[in-house]
Amino acid sequence: MNSPLLRIGIACYPTYGGSGALATELGIALADRGHEIHFLSYESPFRLKEFHSNIIYHQVGVQDYPLFKYPPYALALATTMAEVCELHDLEVLHVHYAIPHLVSANLAKQMLIDQDVKVISTLHGTDITVVGNDPSYRRVVQFSLEEADGVTAVSQYLKNETYRSVGTTCEIRVIPNFVDLNRFSASVCPEAAKLCCDDEVILIHVSNFRPVKRVNDLVHVMVELKNNGVSARLIMVGDGPDKAAAELLARQLKVAEQINFLGLQDSVEQIIPCADIFLLPSEFESFGLSALEAMACGVPVIATNSGGLPEVIQDGVSGKLVSIGDIQGFALAIQELVTDPDALKRMGKNARHEAVNRFSIQDVVPAYLDYYYELLSDEDDMFCDQNVEAT
């Protein structure tokens, strides 16, 4: 039987970061399949660049007022969610990152007296491990998860961690991050290739430079490589709280010449394929979307053995896993690959293969859709919809 086309609201953080990127890519992929998508946020999501006839963006305006030390965004979001659900007859409200989106969505649902919109939350990582673990939010996260119609987590690790740290009993389905294999491929952009020099090994890191990313470790790795006589260049893409300190450290440790800090870049898919190895020294990653994007480009990943990363990167197959903060371990792993070009090439191939076989947009997006349909399946009127999904 053909599945009906759905009207779906998606709330996310619009700024650079994995949850916003994933939420936007999901919305675009669903719109490409004919579903009607409504993004709700305080700004247009950063990956929403091109016009799509069935995507609408609803800006959430927050009224400032002298009494408000903290303008109540969660309430403004709940109001916009209820209005959009009503006006566009939404069937699903899919929120990414629990705080405050899930709280607002549950509140919006309560306001909608004659409409049963299904509220689904995707947990991404720090919404559970940092924010959800904080005593000021734990209880509200726990309550919101119990109230939601459906909850997904991006890795088995995050699912387990949610049960352990938040103490919820709600059912959680694991649906991993995914990647667009046409966009993230091995094809090298000539402009980005200008960054590379034949006699250097090109290392790359992409993140939002938050403390959890441990970007200073990469500067220390560059020092270690220099001391070991390895000619390497590190391309640092992104911006965030720890970027200035990393640049300063690079100057102090005299490796600034070997590191290019490129700042925020929209087209990371043009830069990553130039690299030989992607580095991710995070203290914690629930999944590691940037690592997956590198793998899709055929670039092997050296990352920490933390959180959900071992679910993405197979140690010795598509990359290498190293202990958190193990600078020498990172340098050694890089040197091993640099001195064995065949192994480096093989790992790059394996990385792409893993991305294709386990995390392709074509395979993972239907898992979200199946989940929506399952949750909606007790709604008798769902199949009365005239529209059917274009296959």
19 binds ligand GMT (CB under 6 A): yes
Q: Which of 106, 286, 318, 350 binds ligand GMT (CB under 6 A)?
A: 286
Answer yes or no: are the C-beta atoms of 27 and 37 closer than 8 Å.
yes
Please list every residue from 346 through 365 that binds ligand GMT, using CB under 6 A: none
Min dist. Cβ of residue 341 to ligand GMT (A): 30
Q: Using the rule CB under 6 A, is 215 a contact of ligand GMT? A: no
Does 301 bind ligand GMT (CB under 6 A)? Our answer is no
Query: Is-contact 41 28, C-beta < 8 A?
Result: no
Stretch that binds ligand GMT, among 18-26, 49-57, 182-190, 338-346 (CB under 6 A): 18-26
Measure the CA–CA gap between 57 and 44, rounded to whole angstroms. Answer: 7
Order the strands of the 118-123 sheet from edge to edge.
55-59, 36-41, 7-11, 92-96, 118-123, 150-153, 173-174
Residues 93 to 122 in contact with ligand GMT, rule: CB under 6 A: 97
- Token pair recorded at residue 348: 């790059």
Residues near ligand GMT (CB under 6 A), total:
20
Q: In what order do the strands lie in the sheet with 277-280?
A: 259-263, 232-237, 201-206, 277-280, 301-304, 319-322
Taking the CB of residue 130, how many other CB atoms lie within 10 A of it? 14
SS3 263: strand
> CB 98 → ligand GMT: shortest distance, Å?
10
Does the footprint of ligand GMT cover residue 18 (CB under 6 A)?
A: yes
Per CB under 6 A, does 288 bind ligand GMT? yes
Q: Is 176 in the site for ligand GMT (CB under 6 A)?
A: no
Q: Does 293 bind ligand GMT (CB under 6 A)?
A: no
**Binding ligand GMT by CB under 6 A: which of 287, 330, 359, 371?**
287
Member of 4, 9, 14, 17 binding ligand GMT (CB under 6 A): 17
- Choosing from 103, 289, 303, 344, the residue that interacts with ligand GMT (CB under 6 A) is 289
Nearer to ligand GMT, 17 or 329 (CB): 17
Q: How far is CA 159 from CA 12, 131, 141, 213, in A?
A: 20, 15, 14, 21
Full DSSP string of 79-136: HHHHHHHHHHT-SEEEEESSTTHHHHHHHHHHH-TT--PEEEEEE-SHIIIIITTSTT
Stretch 119-158 residues interacting with ligand GMT (CB under 6 A): 124-126, 154
Binding site for ligand GMT (CB under 6 A): 17-20, 22, 97, 124-126, 154, 177, 208, 210, 212, 284-289
